[in-house]
Amino acid sequence: MNERPILVLTAPGESYLPLEDELRQVATIVVGDSARAFEQVAAEVEVILNWSGRLSLIRQVFLISHRLRWIHSRSAGLERTLFPELIASGVTLTNGSGVFSPSLGEFALAAILYFAKDFRRMIRNQMTGLWEPFNVTMASGQTVGIVGYGDIGSAVAARVRALGMTVLGLKRHISLQYKHDPVVDQIYGSNQRLEMLPRCDYVVVAAPLNEETRGLIGEAEFAVMKKNAVLINIGRGPVVSEGAMIKALSEKRIKGAALDVFDEEPLPNGHPFYTLENVLLSPHCADHTPDWLDNAMRFFLAQLERFRRGETLLNIVDKQLGY
């Protein structure tokens, strides 16, 4: 066992740590939700696991951890982990990209079918005892545009492609890997979104949140979408301008939206999303399978083994790009 402790950062009051016994069998860990909890050991640590800690906490602990070599974020999103001092340092940062992607891919597929088959109308009619046949839409042959074609986007693409849908991808950096992806019909650069969006019946937002993606989908983007378009956000809330989306939904300029992420969470009482008939709302739990936290910890344990063997870690983040 490595003698240097591993710091595990948690949210205030969070006591549950999955597979804690397995982790303690292979490492000495110090768990805490404040910088004070780590003051006595931080100077010696090489590894930090940011399980659910706040951005302010990870920064405070980073600044007193002078031998630090590696930080792992449980989440794929890095808005609670990335800060200027870390970006400028030589410390390796990895994240949980890929751990939760299959479930998010299924949520996007479910949302597409929800709107295509008008499940809200079915349920409403059933609850009121109304027998009212109506037309439904085929998903096959329609077009899905994926904003942020990374690991989550690939999971979405594989599932909708199986339905016979056309897949378009929007990506900041287009590598040969994505140019030759067999499930994508066309890849666009991030500055081509106004060219891609008018083609889409469904727009799946799976982009990480950073300075470049904040408000990426706004008034101009909603203005070019089809009237029958559905927006599905499984990335981060602020990537889509909430005000512009509410306006587009209220004015029926798009067909609907399926949302798992929001600007403010929990969503405040009285928020328009609760009452808009063309919104499917998920309280940021689209990837909360019964074993989602166990899977996240298993991934870290596998990473820790690679770290100790001197092997290349998976999911190394380009700190300058933010993903």
Name the average pLDDT for the chain.
Answer: 95
Q: 212 or 311: which carries more pLDDT confidence?
A: 311
Per-residue pLDDT for 323 more than 90?
no
User: CA separation (Å) from 50 to 72, 75, 234, 249?
Assistant: 6, 9, 21, 37
Q: What's the pLDDT at 178?
A: 60
Q: What is the pLDDT of residues 282-292, one digit of tens each?
A: 999 999 999 99
Q: Could you give the CA distance from residue 36 to residue 163 in angstroms, rounded to a whole number?
A: 52
In the DSSP assignment, the letter for residue 311 is P
5 near 44, Cβ under 8 Å?
Answer: yes
Q: What is the pLDDT of residues 5-64, one digit of tens each?
A: 999 999 998 889 999 999 999 999 999 999 999 999 999 999 999 999 999 999 999 999
Sorted by sequence, the CB contacts under 8 Å of residue 75 that are 6+ apart come out as 81, 95, 96
* Cα–Cα nearest to 149, from 211, 80, 92, 203: 203
Q: Could you give the CA distance from residue 170 to residue 181 in angstroms, rounded to a whole number?
A: 13
Beta strands in the chain (DSSP E): 2-9, 27-32, 47-50, 70-73, 92-94, 143-147, 166-171, 186-189, 202-205, 230-233, 256-259, 279-281
pLDDT category of residue 179 using cuts at 50, 70 and 90: low
Per-residue pLDDT for 2 more than 70?
no
Of 76-80, 92-96, 234-238, least confident by mean pLDDT is 76-80
Fold agreement between 2-99+290-309 and 101-281:
yes
Rg over CA atoms, the chain: 21
Q: What is the pLDDT of residues 116-146, one digit of tens each?
A: 999 999 999 999 999 999 999 999 999 999 9
Domain residue ranges of the chain, discontinuous segments joined by +? 2-99+290-309, 101-281
Copy the structure tokens of residue 228.
Answer: 């029958």
Residue listed under structure tokens 């990537």 = 239
Q: What is the pLDDT of residues 142-159, one digit of tens each?
A: 999 999 999 999 999 999
The CATH classification of domain 101-281, taken from the options 3.40.640.10, 3.30.420.130, 3.10.20.30, 3.40.50.720: 3.40.50.720
**CATH architecture observed for domain 2-99+290-309:** 3-Layer(aba) Sandwich (3.40)
Average pLDDT over residues 204-218: 95
Q: What's the pLDDT at 1?
A: 47
Per-residue pLDDT for 322 more than 60?
yes
